[in-house]
Structure 1
């Protein structure tokens, strides 16, 4: 038996734009189902909002997202979730960093750290905090 965990991001009207952006960074396949698609439109202004969406790529990246409808409480929050992307090589992580950094606020520049060959943290234009690093053997 095995399980898989997937980061599920919640937005208010920005899920499609976020999924499109993450798809442009990580590649793979994108799927989006709107409230209109499911016949569950409670507010006509939200008919094209995402009720379920995901980006899944062959390199192992997988993220899900949806738009919280206006009758439900939602707050973007601060530091509630970090999305961690760890790779084996500096070229791969640097390339992903450069794409994610567009329109973002850098919290910690991508650079060598005491625990990893490369480590960095940024908040993207959707308010999601990403931690990118290159895997290093644990020497505890």
Structure 2
């Protein structure tokens, strides 16, 4: 994990009312797996917030996965909030799903947001991120 490792009792960066260890931390450590695309989306957002490159690469579909994430040492970007706007499919009966979200960040003291409709697929039974459409 990167330099922003939360304490196990810290609130989870994904915004749920649970501590990091019982929420996304258990997925990051491999003690659990995301049960839906939305849960995977939340855990990937939290992984960006704590700079957990290994988890992000592990949960990225091999056909679209980059070789590395490339977090900047001492970088000026901080993820500060996640809002799930919509989700479709992604139940136990689906092999694909989408999640539309807005993730807020602060970079160099300026606020910004990433608005994306992400696509997920099941790969060997586990949900993985495929790609997404970014909205302006």
Give the TM-score of the pair, scaled to structure 2.
0.29
Q: Based on CA coordinates, which of the two structures has the bigger radius of gyration?
A: 1
